Chains A and B, each alone.
Chain A
């Protein structure tokens, strides 16, 4: 039983890979088999993710790492390890939830808008899970490329002019960023001679002075590669266009893609440049803070200026990722805890909103005829589907009511107004910044209360921007809501299938559950933050590396 549990760590990578490989073998006609396979894999992933989260949560509150998995059973600094801790378990679970919702939504019709949707979708999930679980820098690059390759395919899913145009720029930007990633990784390897993250964390303090500059340059270049993915201000101009052009279920999964960048920044900045990194401690923190603030400002201007809802949501993604980045820049256990709660809540809300937009806009002409064009371009086999679909959708005012309510909930969540979880996330963030020691009573030993500045200028700036961005979001959302639900006199009620409403409802219900069960969720987040701050200690590194002496001896 314990052996099986050991292998559970790699299951989130292997399961989608096997599913995708099987799907490629199947004929394009055998749609039902593919769909079944895809559903089984994604929901299986959800079950695995929940089990992993329980496993991670069962570990001691101070311990950084709960489980490691040496690939091919090679010992740690030489082989590649997968590392499970609370943060990676949480991110894998978030991915699985979004995956289930988007996949269910796509079954209504989007999966038929182009070939290989299910296989690409599974590969994207695999790349995401791998990026969250890996404990090795170069392996991280490989998983990044995997998820990016799948995302290129998914972004173009359904084709059409807007998608190809956005996809071209998206691919060019990401290829350039991947080059930066490689330069950063190889610089770090050149200086320290290791790619294992835990090993790196131990060696960084010992890097001699003249090499330190090279190391920091490497880390900064690496950081830029991730910040491109996270959409930080001068690097994120590609994001709203690409997200607005993507098919709704794809955009909904993409909501977590910016969080991959944010996740890696959080992980590496705390692991490599934590308190024990010697002269390099807290390297880049100020840049991330101000970059995050600028991202939020850019995002909120964009939200106000955006003409259509998909673009507006693209900018809301930027605001969300800017908030998280700025919180990383400020640092401290309780701020990080609040930030993680906000991250989970805003990712769910944005994913739900991307799905919802398509349903709401279906009553209007623009979205509908674009879909018709892509269906036509893709050719035969789709005509009967569209007929079929028109029979099933039920045109009742009740649909509009549900859509309206969901829209309202999304607006509250994204803007961060009470009573839903968006508010709690922002509230905890703000409280933690103003009073770093207030929320975590138990964390007297580990909370670097002294490291967090008492309300300084940056904190006030962040506070102001958070509140203004909430205001901007609510203005834009209200405007969009009025335009969609109240203004049209002759409005055809969108035909919506239950299978399309259900994922939106489930995502929103999860946010509601996060609100009601805020205490246990927040406890998990705070424990996560706590473990991130102790990760730079030897104790967790030892969980990843074999007993230290042995590792150093074996190294030539």
Chain B
């Protein structure tokens, strides 16, 4: 499971970085989204992977660390998703404004060679 997650994060990050470096604003925003997915998975992985373990403690359970999964990274991922979502929406608006004002979707606001 670890190797699948690691490869997944790697592929997402790699594609994200490549897209981030492209000259079109839409590619940049997709790249940033991919990177934020990769980051969310990475935070999740930092809580150690475990299947079928609940994150909320119950009373009277002995040996809690073996039976439960760390809830903190899940809370962090949730926060990061919300913030990332808001930022993507905001960036999208700026992207549209830039397209409207400059007439091009190049990140510099003008086509190369102009």
Contacts and interface: CB of A to CB of B under 8 A. Distances in A.
Interface of A: 138, 141-142, 145, 149, 152-153, 156, 159, 161, 164-165, 167-169, 171-172, 175-176, 178-179, 182-183, 185-187, 189-190, 195, 556
Interface of B: 20, 25, 28, 32, 35-36, 39, 42-43, 45-47, 64-65, 72-73, 76, 79-80, 83, 86-87, 90-91, 94-95, 97-98, 101-102, 107-109
Given A171-B94, A556-B65, A189 B72 contact: yes
B39 A176 contact: no
A301 B94 CA distance: 31
B95 A168 contact: yes
B102 A165 contact: yes
Contacts of B98: 164-165, 168
A190 B46 CA distance: 5
A145 B80 CA distance: 10
Given A179-B35, A186-B42, A186-B43, A165 B109 contact: yes
Given A165-B109, A171-B90, 19 more contacts: A138-B79, A141-B79, A156-B94, A161-B101, A164-B98, A167-B94, A168-B25, A168-B95, A168-B109, A171-B87, A171-B91, A172-B28, A175-B32, A176-B32, A179-B32, A179-B39, A190-B46, A556-B64, A556-B65
A169 B107 contact: yes
Contacts of B32: 172, 175-176, 179
A186 B46 contact: yes
A247 to B, nearest CB: 16
A230 B25 CA distance: 25
Contacts of B47: 190
Please indicate which of the listed interface residues B90, B102, B107 has the most CB atoms of chain A within 10 Å of its own CB: B90
21 contacts: A141-B79, A149-B90, A152-B94, A153-B90, A156-B97, A159-B97, A161-B109, A164-B101, A165-B98, A168-B94, A169-B107, A172-B20, A172-B107, A176-B20, A178-B83, A179-B32, A183-B39, A183-B42, A185-B43, A186-B42, A186-B76
A182 B107 contact: no
Contacts of B95: 168
Contacts of B43: 182, 185-186
A187 B39 CA distance: 11
A138 B35 contact: no
Contacts of A195: 72
Contacts of A169: 107
B5 to A, nearest CB: 13
Contacts of B94: 152, 156, 164, 167-168, 171
B110 to A, nearest CB: 9
A-B CB proximity, top 5 nearest: A190-B46, A165-B109, A186-B43, A186-B46, A182-B39
Nearest to A137: B76
A185 B75 CA distance: 13
A469 to B, nearest CB: 29
A186 B77 CA distance: 10
A152 B90 contact: yes
A222 to B, nearest CB: 13
Contact of B46 (A149, A164, A187): A187
Nearest to B33: A175
B22 to A, nearest CB: 11
